[in-house]
Amino acid sequence: MARYLITGAAGFIGSNLARALLQRGDAVRGLDNLSTGRRENLTDLKGMDFRQADLLDRAALRSACEGVDVILHQAAIPSVPKSVQEPEPSHEANINGTFNVLLEARHAGVQRVVYAASSSAYGETPTLPKVESMKPDPISPYAVQKLTGEQYMTSFHRVYGLETVSLRYFNIFGPFQDPGSMYSGVLAKFSMQMLRGETPTIFGDGEQSRDFNYIDNCVQVNLLAASAPASEVAGKVFNVATGHRFSLNQTVDILRKLTGYKGEVRYAPEREGDIKHSLADITLARKHMGYDPAVDFEEGLRRTVAWYKTLMAPARA
Ligand code: UD2
């Protein structure tokens, strides 16, 4: 039985990973500084050895890596606009934090590090779908930071033989994603706003599109990346998406049906650092890991809205 360390364990993706690993009986340690992660996400993760600490706290990180086989490195300040407004803290968390994870993984003799990379690395490269072999063209500080982390992963594989796998997430959504911050992912925000009868705001004309991917597909690929033979995955970078894209306008139409929202949609100026279209080629992950995104967009949105509804249900007396 592998021993896992999840960084960002109280976050959206980290907590979903912890739940899946605990359910199948794995030993899980979790690290989170609770800056964007939330204690509520830990409520049903009783079996996890949770530690509240920052990735910049080397002593805490060193202790957390002890006896670990695989690290699922999800901790980050995950927002394009936040990185545009405040590049320094996101640089520290996303680049220095990732570097520290690699240093301490190596020190502890961890076998593999699976890293939450980002589709933002592609930037506005005109070709769709995005293929891993394309030259990256990051626009926002966040995109540069995530790409730098990826390159550090590959370097630590090449230079020190640490098994690293970088998963370029394309807009993951689903239960446990925080809907409440101005920096929240668009589907979390819109689902909750529309359920509450609040007016959602689209930045731009709404024709921008994303390869939105449901969280269960992301969990699946992390488990595959953690266990696939090193010859298939070590030192490599993989797109994690569905291979389909939806515009924000289409998304709002689907959400109207799921939430019953009948109100207006507000249009505001485009967001700085944004890219227009995003769509992945997922051939590589299918080939090397057997990745098969089982939950499609509409089914994922159905499950997501159902989950946000449970948050709105009045507490029982
Ligand atoms: C980027 C990455 C994604 C992941 C994520 C982490 C791309 C294509 N994707 O997601 O892989 O790393 O960062 O945060 O770079 N929007 C609105 N109204 C709102 C909120 C957002 O219109 O209230 C728009 C936003 O301007 C953008 C789209 O929705 O065009 C998606 O925004 P997002 O913040 O959910 O995700 P994105 O694409 O920046």
Please indicate, yes or no, if residue 272 is contained in any of the structural domains. no
- How far does Cα 296 stand from its chain's mean position? 17
Report the pLDDT averaged over residues 202-222.
98
Residues 6+ apart with CB under 8 A from 268: 201, 202, 203
Please indicate, yes or no, if residue 287 is contained in any of the structural domains. no
**Residue 263 burial (CB count, 10 A):** 12
Residue 195: phi and psi, rounded to 5, are -65, -35
Task: Please tell me the residue having the least CA distance from ligand 1 atom 38.
Answer: 171
Looking from the CA of residue 170, the nearest atom of ligand 1 is 11
Task: Please tell me the residue having the least CA distance from ligand 1 atom 20.
Answer: 186
Residue 236: phi and psi, rounded to 5, are -105, 165
- Tell me if 8 CB under 6 Å of ligand 1: no
Say yes or no to pLDDT of 116 above 90.
Answer: yes
Is residue 2 very low, low, confident or very high in pLDDT (cuts 50, 70, 90)?
Answer: confident
Please indicate, yes or no, if residue 301 is contained in any of the structural domains. no
Question: 266: buried, middle or exposed (CB in 10 Å: 19+, 13-18, 0-12)?
Answer: exposed
* pLDDT tens per residue across span 82-111: 999 999 999 999 999 999 999 999 999 999
Average predicted confidence (pLDDT) for the chain: 96
* pLDDT tens per residue across span 163-181: 999 999 999 999 999 999 9
Report the pLDDT averaged over residues 39-56.
96
Cα angle 158, 162, 165; round to 5: 85
Q: What does the alpha-carbon distance between residue 269 and residue 17 come to, in Å, rounded to a whole number?
A: 35
Is residue 55 very low, low, confident or very high in pLDDT (cuts 50, 70, 90)?
Answer: very high
Ligand 1 midpoint to CA 294 (Å): 23
Report the pLDDT averaged over residues 208-226.
98
* E-strand stretches of 156-212: 163-169, 172-173, 201-203, 209-210
Range of the domain at 222: 3-172+215-240
- Closest of 198, 202, 207 to residue 180, by C-alpha: 198
- Tell me if 210 CB under 6 Å of ligand 1: yes
DSSP label of 39: G
Please indicate, yes or no, if residue 294 is contained in any of the structural domains. no
Looking from the CA of residue 270, the nearest atom of ligand 1 is 26
Q: Count Cα atoms within 13 angstroms, Cβ side, for 225.
A: 32
In this prediction the pTM is 0.97
Looking from the CA of residue 278, the nearest atom of ligand 1 is 8
Please indicate, yes or no, if residue 69 is contained in any of the structural domains. yes
- Tell me if 169 CB under 6 Å of ligand 1: yes
Ligand 1 midpoint to CA 271 (Å): 9
**Residue 69 burial (CB count, 10 A):** 16
Whole-number pLDDT of residue 126: 83
Ligand 1 midpoint to CA 188 (Å): 11
Say yes or no to pLDDT of 1 above 70.
Answer: no
Token pair 């990973």: residue: 17
Decide if 99 contacts 58 (C-beta within 8 A): no
Report the pLDDT averaged over residues 21-39.
97
Report the pLDDT averaged over residues 226-235.
98
* E-strand stretches of the chain: 3-7, 27-32, 49-52, 70-73, 112-118, 163-169, 172-173, 201-203, 209-210, 213-214, 236-240, 246-247, 266-268
CATH number of the domain that residue 24 is part of: 3.40.50.720
Please indicate, yes or no, if residue 305 is contained in any of the structural domains. no
Residue 309: phi and psi, rounded to 5, are -60, -40
Say yes or no to pLDDT of 207 above 60.
Answer: yes
The set of catalytic residues is 142
- Tell me if 80 CB under 6 Å of ligand 1: yes
Whole-number pLDDT of residue 135: 96
Q: Higher confidence at residue 273 or residue 62?
A: 62
Number of domains comprising the chain = 1
Looking from the CA of residue 189, the nearest atom of ligand 1 is 23
Of the candidate ranges 122-131, 146-155, 262-271, 307-316, the one whose mean pLDDT is the lowest: 307-316
Whole-number pLDDT of residue 315: 56
Ligand 1 midpoint to CA 299 (Å): 20
Question: 286: buried, middle or exposed (CB in 10 Å: 19+, 13-18, 0-12)?
Answer: middle
Say yes or no to pLDDT of 317 above 70.
Answer: no
Report the pLDDT averaged over residues 229-252.
98
Say yes or no to pLDDT of 59 above 50.
Answer: yes
